[in-house]
Each structure stands twice: as C-alpha cells, then as structure tokens.
Amino acid sequence: MSDWKIGDDKRRRSTDQLRDLRSANDGQVDWDTEAPADFTYLFHPDHVLVAAEDTDEFEAAVARLDKGVLTDEPRRDDVRLLDGDLVRYVLPARPSGEKVPDVLDLLEQAGLRRGLATPDHWIHVSPGGGSGTACPATEPEETGLAEPWPAVAPQDEGREVSVVVVDTGWHPAAATDGRTPWLKGVEGDDEHNGPDLRPYAGHGTFIAGVVRCMAPRTKVFVEGFAVDGMGGGGILESEIVRQLEDAITHDPQVINLSAGCRTRLDLPSVAFRAFHRRHLRGKDRVLVAAAGNDSWAAPFWPAAFDWCVGVGSLDRDGRVSDFSNYGVSADVFVLGRNVVNAFPDGSLVCHESPNKGDVRVFSTGMARWSGTSFAAPVVAGMIARVISETGCSAAEARDTVLARAVPDSDPTIGPHMELEPRIP
C-alpha cells in the first residue's frame, strides 16, 4: 500500500479505509487491482463460496484443474452456513501465487459455470469500493441541533411492527437519554462505547434513530455484527448471512442493512441469494439496503437484487447526492445528505483523508452524517409505518411506499421521494 500519499482526497480516503480494514482483520483482505485506491471489490485471500446444490459441480471442476495450481484439494470449512445451504471452501497454497479470482477464472475455463463459485467478498458499512469509498460518504460531524432530521413523524395509532437493523451495534444509553426520547425501548447488541469513540461507532444507533423518527410505533432491535471493534468497517459475506439469520430470530417484517459490496465480474452474491431463498422468499419480510457511495451504476449487492429495496441518496434540495450510486442498485432515492440523529458522546479522531487526525468532540447526543447508509432507514421506516397503520403485508407496504416516488427525467436515475422542505 505504498500509494497512500498519492492522488486526490478521494483516492487517499479509499486507501485509508482499506489500510484500516486490512489491519483490523489480520491481513485477511485482498483486492482485485494493483493499487488499493483503484479496487473494485475486496475478498478473503483463501475463501470460496458455493451453494450446497452446486458443490458436486465445483469439486468436479477442481479435479479437472491443472495439478500445479493448487497444492491440495480445497477444504470444506466446518462453519455451518444457512443450515448447510451455503458452503465455504478454504483454498490451499497456490505455488504460482494465483489469487482467488485467478483460480475461479481457471475453474471456469475448465468447465465450471460462471458465477457458481465466488470469492468470499468483504461487505462494507454503507457499500462502496473502486475509486470511491468502502464506508460512509463522510465521517460523522458535530451538530448543535437538538432535534433530528428527518424529524420525528408523530404517530398516534397503529400496531407495533418489528424492524431489525443489522449494523455495528447499539449504544444502550440512547434509549434512556432525555435528548433522544424517540429511541425509548430500542434494544440491541451493545457496542461498548467509551469516551474515545472507535471508527464507525454509533452507526447502528444513528440508523435505528432514523427508523424510529419515520415510524415511532416500531420495535427496533440492532443486531451488531462486530460490536467490539467493528472489524475496520467490514464483515465477510459468509459472516453477514449468519448475522442476518440472528436477525430473523426477532421475527422482523423489515430488515435494514446499510452495507453491501461489489463482486467479481459484478455477478450476484451467492451468499445473499442463499439467504433470500431460506429466509425471505415466500415470507412476510422485506430487506432494505443502501445502494452505495461511489457515484456509479455498477451493481452493489444485496441492493441490486430485484427482491431487495435498494436506496440511493438525495441532497436536501432534492438532487441526487454526488456520492450516491444509481442504476440497478437504487430502486428509490430519499434524503441521505446531512441527516441528523442520535450519536454517542465522546471524542472521535478522524481516520480518513482529508480530515485524518482531526478531533471531533460529540456532547449533544447527536451528530450529522451523510451517505446512502442513512437514506436506507428512511425507506425502511416508511415501509414499517405503512404496515403499522394499515395492517398490510410487508410486500404490500413496500409497493405502497415505492409507488409514492416521482420518476426522474433521467431514465438512468430511479424515482425519488422528497421530504418536507423543513430544514433544522
């Protein structure tokens, strides 16, 4: 990573994030380009994922592979994923230094169907990659505001709806803090914040706050996927589906996932597809995901799946945010720039260019943050509110909310929903 001082702020920021992610995960992070700032996707250097029904075809292709590529047969990992529906293989040493994508290229040349086996991609908080970012569009900023934006939308009637936010974890103090009363009753996996805030601390709490502002009569649980250190802002595909399975134990009708990734050859994620088959297809349950922060139309997963509601970001003037992805990953655009909501008190040392080393002190229980991460829970909350007020199914509520969106004059940009022009 010798190019960390080279280039504009965007390239340096991308490299800063990659350095942090790799350091936090014992070096088990690889990418598809020579310069880290140019990466398209990230992956584990030894893992391959295959759906259970395809393992025979995968192993047959391995048997046809030139014997000089792998020192031994790939080992089936003992970790049980999606009750056996997903299999994780660990590749042995490769004498010629082939990376996982290189091995998959060779297997496909040997007759393996393209996309049947994939790398174990790294999922990022608020999806990103390439020449953009691997995490939120900005680091959190202090705010003197005492009220959230979007504001709390009062709701006097309606049944309770279960929403699970799969994210960094939960800041329990926010549920009893008089400054953030809209979070009363929210629960989740404690991310154990102290006065010195870690990178990405408060991400899940902030998102839970946005959901509650849009739909006060929701039972929100924050399922933390790395509550003690955040793994540098990332988690493997094979691990995120295990956290999503934990989320299912709370019987949610709406799941918010402000995370995702780009993949090898832009092929659909095997892990998310297997999760959909087991836990979403035919169920009264909707997944809402952030579309990503790289200003491009290439697919980000799971937002790009047709069964997932992918959400892009608008600025407060109703224009698509310059960082927001669009195209197949964004079914709808809502406010994602300068969102204000709950955040832990403490000091945060910025770790990304151009603000690297700056100290931000949070003392109001609130922060201002930008990214598609924070647009997604606006839509998740809207869907939950329709369910609460009408008693309809999650799918019906999803369709109702999306029908409110206004088509854009640019056919490459999805429809958008602007909030009231009330700026705090």
DSSP code of 224? E
Instruction: Please report how many Cα atoms fall inside a 13 Å half-sphere around the Cα of residue 333, on the Cβ side.
Output: 28
User: What are the residue boundaries of the structural domains of the chain, listed by start?
Assistant: 161-403
For 138-159, the pLDDT digits (tens) are 889 999 999 999 999 999 899 9
Q: Which contiguous run of DSSP H or E holds residue 230?
A: none
pLDDT in tens, 207-254: 999 999 999 999 999 999 864 444 567 899 999 999 999 999 999 999
State how far the Cα of 125 lies from the Cα of 122, in Å rounded to an integer: 10
User: What pLDDT score does 423 carry?
Assistant: 36
Confidence at residue 5, expressed as pLDDT on a 0 to 100 scale: 52
| pLDDT for 18 | 77
The pLDDT of residue 151: 96
Extract the tokens encoding 148. 């959230």
CA gap 186, 197 in Å, rounded: 21
Distance CA(42)–CA(39), nearest Å, equals: 7
For 183, other C-beta atoms within 10 Å of its C-beta total: 26
What pLDDT digit, counting tens, does each position of 73-98 carry? Answer: 999 999 999 999 999 999 999 999 99
pLDDT at residue 129 in the model: 36
Q: Is the pLDDT of residue 15 over 90?
A: no
Give the neighbor-by-neighbor strand order of the sheet with 196-197.
196-197, 346-349, 359-362
Closest CA to 148 of 201, 200, 215, 210: 210
Nearest residue to 385 via CA among 126, 150, 187 = 150
How confident is the model over 382-392, as pLDDT tens digits? 999 999 999 99
Report which listed range, 13-22, 173-182, 350-359, 410-419, is most confident.
173-182
Look at residue 403 and give its three-state secondary structure.
Answer: helix
Tokens of 164: 């699970």
Has domain 161-403 been given CATH number 3.40.50.1820?
Answer: no
**What is the arithmetic mean of pLDDT over 173-192?**
97
What is the Rg, in whole angstroms, of the alpha carbon atoms belonging to the chain?
21
Cβ neighbours of 297 (radius 10 Å): 15
Distance (Å, whole) CA 36 – CA 15? 6
Preceding amide of 95 cis, omega within 30 = no
Residues 247-301: tens digit of each pLDDT: 999 999 999 999 999 999 999 999 999 999 999 999 999 999 999 998 899 999 9
* DSSP string for residues in 248-266: HTT--SEEEE-EEB--GGG
- Report the distance separating Cα 147 and Cα 341, nearest Å: 8
- Vertex 152 angle, CA 379 and 166, to 5°: 45
8 A C-beta contact, residue 38 and residue 6: no
Q: What are the tokens at 386? A: 């329709």
Q: Per the structure block, which two tokens stand in for 84?
A: 């056996």
What pLDDT is stored for residue 128 in this prediction? 37
The token duo for 163 is: 């929403």
Q: Report residue 331 CA to chain centroid gap.
A: 16
For residue 371, the model assigns a pLDDT of: 94
- Position 421 scores a pLDDT of 44
Higher pLDDT, 33 or 413: 33
Q: 188 versus 422: which is more confidently predicted?
A: 188
Query: What are the residues whose beta carbons fall under 8 Å from the beta carbon of 67, sequence distance 6 or more?
Result: none
- Distance, in Å, from the CA atom of 120 to the CA atom of 268, rounded to the nearest integer, reads 12
Q: 349, 372 in Cβ contact below 8 A?
A: no
pLDDT digits (tens, 9 = 90+) for 131-140: 444 446 688 9
| 246/371 Cα distance (integer angstroms) | 26
Q: What percent of the chain has pLDDT over 90?
A: 75
Taking all residues of the chain, what is their mean pLDDT, rounded to a whole number? 90
For residue 380, pLDDT beyond 60: yes
Per-residue confidence band for 21, with pLDDT thresholds at 50, 70 and 90? confident
pLDDT (tens digit per residue) in 305-356: 999 999 999 998 889 999 999 999 999 999 999 999 999 999 999 877 678 8
Mean pLDDT of 108-119: 97
User: What is the pLDDT, as a whole number, of residue 175?
Assistant: 98
- Measured at the alpha carbon of residue 350, what is the angle toward residues 17 and 343, in degrees to the nearest 5? 105
Q: What pLDDT does 39 receive? A: 85
* pLDDT exceeds 50 at position 34: yes
Number of neighbours of residue 423 by Cβ within 10 angstroms:
8
